[in-house]
Amino acid sequence: MPQEPSLPFPNIDPIAFAIGPFAVRWYALGYLFGTGLGAVYAYFMLSNQRLWHKGEPPFPAKDIWDFAFWTMLAIVLGGRIGYVLFYNLPYYLANPTEIINTLDGGMSYHGGMLGLMLAVVLFTWRKGHGNWLSGLDLIASVATIGIFLVRIANFINAELYGAPTSLPWGVIFPTDPEQLPRHPSQLYEAALEGLLLFLVIRIFTHVFYALRRPGMVAGIFGIGYGLSRITVEFVRLPDSQIGYLYGGWLTMGMVLSIPLVGAGLALVLWAATRKQSALRTPA
């Protein structure tokens, strides 16, 4: 049987660089640079009072570097706990010491998102001012940067790839035991959940001033991410330890994303009923 057309896999070493025994992977750099670039972007947003409800950002721009540290902890802890609970709980109940072994790459986006939401609510409360819904809007505005970089790192790691395809952009991944052309689902997610969603949210924040309706941007993110993730899940292979939950198509990623879409819709509808604050003119 003739081989289906495919694109060559850019065989990039998953280890970006090593200093002696200390190896730094692209996956870790994706999280690190995602947080760093997100903090820089958030700094400029927080500095622009004209964007925010009543001209009041969730916290001062100078505090973003403190919050960036909270962000890293929230993503790592939430992502790991989410993976343990959602994707492989029986294994970790039988092997509890493996919970802290993050070298197996087990991280859940949905868990990291919940951790990040909790972090921004606590951080806003700790600072004693600002609207926690505006805090959620802030992380929704910048989270797509990290999503894009981490999905690219997933592609470099040749993990989380898709089902076999005959499309001309199918990729044969070196980690695939069947060596079949497959959907590069990591790149689909980078494009939809990362780049496209970033541009959509950018239009809403800087053209339609959606940040002046607290909760609106967070809702848009929930809808956009959830629908993008559900769409890609149709061609992305599920985690091997779980497989399909129903009918050879329903995955855990879909199940976790459906409530996200529902919550996003509820937030958008709620925010739309709130009176939009007037655009402030700098004194």
C-alpha–C-alpha distance, residues 225 and 80, integer Å: 20
**Residues 64 and 126: beta-carbon distance below 8 Å:** no
* Nearest partner of 127 among 210, 189, 70, 205, judged by Cα: 70
Q: End-to-end distance of the chain based on CA atoms, in angstroms?
A: 73
pLDDT at position 2 is 47
Inform me whether the pLDDT recorded for 3 exceeds 60. Answer: no
Q: Mean pLDDT over residues 81-108, rounded?
A: 84
Inform me whether the pLDDT recorded for 127 exceeds 90. Answer: no
pLDDT in tens, 225-266: 999 999 999 999 998 889 999 999 999 999 999 999 999 999
pLDDT at position 249 is 95
Strand 22-25 vs strand 15-19: parallel, antiparallel, or unpaired?
Answer: antiparallel
Inform me whether the pLDDT recorded for 278 exceeds 90. Answer: no
Inform me whether the pLDDT recorded for 74 exceeds 60. Answer: yes
Give the pLDDT band of residue 283 (cuts 50, 70, 90). very low
Kindly provide the b/e burial profile for residues 64-89, where b requires at least 16 CB atoms within 10 angstroms of the residue's own CB: beebbebbbebbeebbbbbbbebbbe
**Residues 63 and 127: beta-carbon distance below 8 Å:** yes
* Nearest partner of 162 among 241, 232, 236, judged by Cα: 236
List alpha helices for 48-108, DSSP H.
64-87, 89-94
Give the pLDDT band of residue 281 (cuts 50, 70, 90). very low
Higher pLDDT, 250 or 99: 250
pLDDT at position 239 is 87
Residue ranges at the known binding site: 151
pLDDT at position 137 is 97
Give the pLDDT band of residue 104 (cuts 50, 70, 90). low
pTM of the full structure? 0.91
Inform me whether the pLDDT recorded for 142 exceeds 70. Answer: yes
C-alpha–C-alpha distance, residues 208 and 199, integer Å: 13
Mean pLDDT of the chain: 92
pLDDT in tens, 12-43: 999 999 998 899 999 999 999 999 999 999 99
pLDDT at position 277 is 64
**Residues 45 and 39: beta-carbon distance below 8 Å:** no
pLDDT at position 1 is 42
Burial class for 201, CB neighbours closer than 10 Å (0-12, 13-18, 19+) = buried
pLDDT in tens, 163-220: 999 999 999 999 999 999 999 999 999 999 999 999 999 999 999 999 999 999 999 9
**Residues 213 and 265: beta-carbon distance below 8 Å:** no
